[in-house]
Structure 1
Amino acid sequence: MITPYYVRQAHLSWLPSTAGSTQPSNAIQAAAGICVVRGQMDGNLIPGKMPLRIGAGFIPHNGVEYGLHAFEVLCNTNIFQNQSLYNWISESHGRVPAGAFLAGATNDDLPLYVARASINNEMCVGKVNSEYKCALIPWGEVEHKIENYEVLCLIE
């Protein structure tokens, strides 16, 4: 009898990018035209958003929405491009569901996960961790505290 084996692959990858450059066609979108990105700020690696109409990354940090020239775009690098092996799970008050996609960390090693929420009828992407008791989402040059949000999770 042959022993079955299972192959796992990394189906989400971070690809380097810069503001104004052509963005990958396989970028993960939180909503139409809003891609998931992450960037460095003060020793922190922070998830955020890239509105395709603007072509730059934005992250929340210390109460402010920061624009980034250099950032990484989260992309679907699955061999089978039509498969989505992730989904968005509703959460609130800083809770992070099982299977949440680790996207960054603070400079003191606090893990940061990708959160999305609507602000002024625009889907935005930011960060969440259980210590925050909320998601922190960049919009309008401010870091907004959002109690109800969705978290990017991997599907097993």
Structure 2
Amino acid sequence: MIIVNKYNYRGSGLSPWYCSNPNKTFQGQEQDPLKQKSIVEIPISQRGTGVQWVAASKGSIPLGAITAGYEADGTPLYVARAHHSKGLHIGKIKPVSNGATIPIEGVEVLTSFYEVLVLT
């Protein structure tokens, strides 16, 4: 199971991460969502729950992508994941971007090849 946490930080409503991964970022800076009071956990099983990961690249967002939060300006944010440094990391993608961003060592890393969580 993957736990995606989202919280409100400076008007932005999503900063997804694995619970075991302490690297969370917002606008390129490390944050600690455990200090926030509005944490919402979304349990996501990889089989049999009506969701699946769909491969995408270069800013594309597949049909049925799950909206998991919003930027301060109302731009929707979707749950993404990508491989980086021998690991699989939960991140986010938004429309009009060149890829998904994932938290790595306290900074957001842009990746062109990723998967997006969609309803099936």
Q: TM class by shorter-chain length?
A: 0.7 to 0.9
Aligned to 1:131: 96
Runs of 4+ in 1 over 3 A off after TM superposition: none
Aligned pair count reads 116
Matched, 1:143 2:108: yes
What is the identity percentage for the equivalent residue pairs of Structure 1 and Structure 2? 28
TM-score, normalising length from structure 2? 0.85
Aligned to 1:51: 19
Q: Hey, what's the Cα distance between the residues in 2 that align with 1:121 and 1:43?
A: 32
Matched, 1:75 2:43: yes
CA contact (8 A) 1:60 1:127 kept: no
**C-alpha distance after superposition, 1:26-64 (max 9, x if no partner):** xx41xxxxx222122111101411333x6x6x5432122
Q: Hey, what's the Cα distance between the residues in 1 that align with 2:96 and 2:25?
A: 16
Q: Matched residue of 2:8: which SS?
A: strand
Q: Aligned Cα RMSD in Å?
A: 2.1
> Which has the higher relative contact order, 1 or 2, with Cα contacts under 8 A spaced 6 or more apart?
2
Q: Which runs of 5+ in 2 are unaligned?
A: none
Q: Hey, what's the Cα distance between the residues in 1 that align with 2:42 and 2:53?
A: 15
Aligned to 1:41: 9
What is the Cα deviation at residue 91 of structure 1? 0.4
Correspondence list, 1:76-155, <5 A: 83-155=48-120
CA contact (8 A) 1:47 1:125 kept: no
